[in-house]
Amino acid sequence: MEIKEMLYEGKAKQVFATENPDIVMVHYKDDATAFNGLKKGTITGKGVINNRVTNFMMKKLEAAGIPTHFVEELNDRDTLVKKVSIVPLEVIIRNISAGSFAKRFGVEEGIVFENPTIEYSYKNDDLGDPMINTAQALALKLATPEEIETIRTMAFKVNDIMKAFFQEVGVDLVDFKLEFGRLSDGTIVLADEISPDTCRFWDSKTHEKLDKDRFRRDLGGVEDAYEEMRRRIFGA
């Protein structure tokens, strides 16, 4: 597959056109940002790990009946995916209190919820990705009612599958962010990435953080945490 011009450059990834108008190539970088781009840095080897972890999860979810954008892993950092138009909503599922949830509601981190929560942010860097509810998302025509229902159902199903998988490798899935896209025929598919950049992972026994919070909070051992997640998922 011939790779053509770069279509888009984001904080952690680049997207390139290919000779097939329905397929694009994602390139994973080692660049890391946090707090809406205020904090910048490099996490050596992150792109390789996030590419492999994302593709592993996408294949697992696809096998469980979740449609995804995944097509083919080309190499360590490059993957072919179906071209989608991204629904401008970040979908956040939480199993345990942490991060902005703990801050917003004035509770400690680590409260295990009886039922997972769902919330949405409006994907808009200029506005700092504000929290949005489904009525507001409908008012702004960010998605149709049917799309929002599909996204909600799929997000909880993704949580069930991922939670069970990570439990097996000794990791608590605390929370994570998903993005969905529309294919040219309107079908909603899971898109973007699933990695230590977009999920909170805590070691089930020690509760050690094995995700991007080590970078956000200057905890040190950032590369080691990503490597540990790679090892948990793929083995030695």
Under the rule (CB under 6 A), what is the footprint of ligand UDP? 90, 92, 98-101, 129, 175-177, 198-200, 212
Q: Determine contact, residues 130/122, Cβ cutoff 8 Å.
A: yes
Q: Which is nearer to ligand UDP, 81 or 91 (CB)?
A: 91
Q: Which is nearer to ligand UDP, 45 or 99 (CB)?
A: 99
List Cβ neighbours of 71 (8 Å cut-off, separation of 6 or more): 23, 79, 80, 81, 82
- Vertex 223 angle, CA 128 and 12, to 5°: 35
Strand partners, 87: none
Q: How far is the CB of 20 from ligand UDP (least distance, A)?
A: 28
Q: Which is nearer to ligand UDP, 56 or 101 (CB)?
A: 101
Q: Which is nearer to ligand UDP, 133 or 187 (CB)?
A: 133
Q: How far is the CB of 98 from ligand UDP (least distance, A)?
A: 6
Q: Which is nearer to ligand UDP, 79 or 159 (CB)?
A: 159
List Cβ neighbours of 184 (8 Å cut-off, separation of 6 or more): 22, 83
- Measured CA to CA, the distance from residue 150 to residue 77 in angstroms comes to 30
Q: How far is the CB of 121 from ligand UDP (least distance, A)?
A: 7
- Measured CA to CA, the distance from residue 222 to residue 210 in angstroms comes to 8
List Cβ neighbours of 8 (8 Å cut-off, separation of 6 or more): 14, 15
Point out the residue whose Cβ comes nearest to ligand UDP. 99
SS3 sequence, 8-28?
EECCCEEEEEECCCCEEEEEE
Q: Which is nearer to ligand UDP, 39 or 59 (CB)?
A: 39
- Measured CA to CA, the distance from residue 65 to residue 157 in angstroms comes to 9
Q: How far is the CB of 90 from ligand UDP (least distance, A)?
A: 6
Q: How far is the CB of 17 from ligand UDP (least distance, A)?
A: 25
Q: How far is the CB of 21 from ligand UDP (least distance, A)?
A: 29
Q: Residue 179 corresponds to which tokens in the numbers above?
A: 């993005």
